[in-house]
Amino acid sequence: MPESYQPGSREDFDRLYRVAYPRVYRTVAAILADPAAAEDCTQDAFTQAFQAWDRWRPDAPAEAWVHRIAVNRAISHRRSARLRGVGEVLRRLGRPGHAPDPADAVVQPDLLKALRAIPPRLAAAIVLRHYHGYNNREIAAALGVSERTVGTRLRKAADLLRSELEPSFSLEVVEAFPSEPDESFAQR
C-alpha cells in the first residue's frame, strides 16, 4: 500500500524524502553519467518539491510526483551539459585530451552506457519500469504523460537498447536446419 502524505506537512515531507530519495537518486543516476550531477539534480528536485509541497495534490502518488520533477531536472541537466561540453571543447582546442582510464570501462556496465545513449525520456521510462518495478499507470503519473505514451516510450526504448546492446540482432527468421527437398526429419 502506498504511503499517505498530507500536503504542507513538514514531517510527511521528511518521511517522503527518506523513503523516496534512494530510488529517485538511482533513477537520475541511470539517466546521467555523472554521480555528482545525479546527486545535485536529486537534491534540486527535492528542494523544488518541498517548495511546492503545500500545493501537491494527494490524488497523485507523492513519490511519482518527485520522480517526475527529478527526471525533468535530469533532462534539463543533460541538455545544458551538452551545451557546456561544446564550450569546453572550444576552450580546450589545441590541448591534448587525456586517455580514458581502462578501469572506468569495467565499472560502467554496457546497459548503463546504452541507457545514457538513448533519449532521457525513454531511459526514464525503462528505469522506472524495470529497475523500480513501476507499472504503466505509475510511470505515467511520474512522467506526466498518458499510459499510452508510456507504452510507446517503453517500446521505443527497448528497440533502441536492443540495437545499442546487440548490433547484430535481427528479427529475420533463420532456419534451424537447412533442408533439402528429399530430406525428411520425421518418420511417418
At 119, list the grid cell: 533519449
pLDDT of residue 69: 94
- Residue 187 inside a domain? The answer is no
- Residue 97 inside a domain? The answer is no
Give the pLDDT band (50/70/90) at residue 181: low
Q: 187 vs 133, which has greater pLDDT?
A: 133
The burial class, CB within 10 Å (0-12 / 13-18 / 19+), for 5 is buried
Most confident listed range (21-25, 72-76, 98-102, 167-171): 21-25
- Residue 102 inside a domain? The answer is no
DSSP character at residue 167 = T
- Residue 132 inside a domain? The answer is yes
pLDDT of residue 150: 93
pTM (whole model) above 0.75: no
Tell me the CATH number at 73: 1.20.140.160
- Residue 30 inside a domain? The answer is yes
Q: Which domain holds residue 157?
A: 10-92+108-165
Residue 51 has pLDDT above 90, yes or no: yes
Count Cβ atoms below 10 Å from residue 44 Cβ, excluding itself. Answer: 17
d(CA 159, CA 154): 9
* Per-residue pLDDT tens digits for 52-104: 999 988 887 899 999 999 999 998 888 877 666 655 655 555 444 555 554 44
**Rg of the chain, C-alpha, whole Å:** 22
Give the pLDDT band (50/70/90) at residue 5: confident
Q: What is the mean pLDDT of residues 156-184?
A: 62
pLDDT of residue 187: 45
